[in-house]
Structure 1
Amino acid sequence: MKTLLLIRHAKSSWNNPDMDDFDRPLNKRGKQNAPEMAQRLVARGMVPELIIASPAKRARTTAKIMAEEWHYPKQAILLEEELYLCYASTFLKVITRIDDDFNAVAIFAHNPGITDFANYLTEEIRIDNVPTTGIFAIQADTDSWKDFDLARKKFLFFDYPRNN
């Protein structure tokens, strides 16, 4: 079994409209939501063994904050250029390259790709929008990430900061 956690970056700052999108930092709410959501995963017993993130500042920072809560070494976070504002199909390319030694993986990325990919993975639930710091979890009945796409999947949960 392989477990995939799709995590949208935390809320970013728009204080500087001239700043390049790639370089936008997290705002105050984003910095508060990231550790809270990481702790919700701990409470569920869903701490990832591998973290992969878009290199954009807001995604990278969200991954680092959550990694700290999980006692995961920040320097071990894999940055994947392809995840920056990617299409749903790009997620599969990244997933098939994951080492099979890892059974639980978190991918930090952006909308609209993350919402599109979550909806591609299951017909059980449809999501209009994965909000900032939202987490979509699914389990695939496979021993290899290369077979993830065709494996039978089970929706686990969808959680986000304002979901009480």
Structure 2
Amino acid sequence: MKKYLLLVRHAKAEDSSMMLKDFDRELLSQGIMDAARLGNFLFREKFTVNSIKTSAAARAFQTVKVLAEQLKIDTDSIEQIEKLYDGGPQAYLSAVNTTAENVQTLMLCGHNPDISFFAEYLTRDQVNSLSTCDLVVMQFEDLLWAEVSGKTGKVRKHISPKDLK
């Protein structure tokens, strides 16, 4: 059975400043529009997302909230994971490996450089650094979520907000 992992880097957010903790940075209007565009694309392409896990940072949660709204998914079902904020690629792997087996499509939202490193770790394909609100769709063949690890996935799509304008 095929499983799909949708990796999303958070959308465009406020710049860091002395007055605002990095964790609390919120999306800019451009980030909200990019996330809505991406969510609308996923809805039109008939992606069925069964589970959404995200960094607990404001900008990541706001990104998946907009995506979920476009996909007609209850935003209360979004799982926030503190370690996806600064836990490194290992935190992303743990989030994937602990996913319930009845989930066919998982969406995971986080931050650079960790999410880009994680994308490259999972596949033999070159992913490079994800820009804000980039989406990488990966496919896994005949694996349990607990078995997903290095070089077990295949990139099926890499979509940037620029591709959707």
Shorter chain as denominator, the TM-score bin is over 0.9
Identity among equivalent pairs (%) = 27
Output one character per residue of 1:22-58: Cα deviation in whole Å (capped at 9) or x when no partner: 0001011101100101112223322311000100000
Alignment-mate amino acid for residue 36 of structure 1? R
**2:21 aligned with 1:3:** no
For residue 143 of structure 1, report the CA deviation from its aligned partner. Answer: 4.6
Output one character per residue of 1:103-146: Cα deviation in whole Å (capped at 9) or x when no partner: 0000010000011011111122x233101100011011135211
Output one character per residue of 1:87-112: Cα deviation in whole Å (capped at 9) or x when no partner: 12221111111000110000010000
After superposition, where does 1:145-164 map in structure 2 within 5 Å? 145-149=145-149, 152-163=152-163
- Cα RMSD after superposing both structures: 1.7
Secondary structure of the structure 2 residue equivalent to 1:46: coil
Q: Corresponding residue for 1:52?
A: 53
- Taking the aligned partners of 1:12 and 1:159, their CA distance within structure 2 comes to 19
- Taking the aligned partners of 1:15 and 1:82, their CA distance within structure 2 comes to 20
Q: Corresponding residue for 2:136?
A: 136
After superposition, where does 1:39-118 map in structure 2 within 5 Å? 39-118=40-119
Q: Is the 8 A contact 2:56 2:85 kept in 1?
A: yes
Q: Is the 8 A contact 2:122 2:152 kept in 1?
A: no
Secondary structure of the structure 1 residue equivalent to 2:5: strand
For residue 60 of structure 1, report the CA deviation from its aligned partner. Answer: 0.5
For residue 163 of structure 1, report the CA deviation from its aligned partner. Answer: 2.5
Q: Corresponding residue for 1:127?
A: 127
TM-score using structure 1 length: 0.92
Q: Is the 8 A contact 1:100 1:143 kept in 2?
A: no
Q: Name segments (4+ residues, structure 1) moved above 4 Å.
A: none
Structure 2, unpaired ranges of 5+:
none
For residue 149 of structure 1, report the CA deviation from its aligned partner. Answer: 1.6
For residue 11 of structure 1, report the CA deviation from its aligned partner. Answer: 0.4
Moved more, 72-81 or 34-43: 34-43
TM-score using structure 2 length: 0.92
Alignment-mate amino acid for residue 148 of structure 2? F
Q: Is the 8 A contact 1:22 1:57 kept in 2?
A: yes
Equivalenced residues, count: 163
Alignment-mate amino acid for residue 76 of structure 1? S
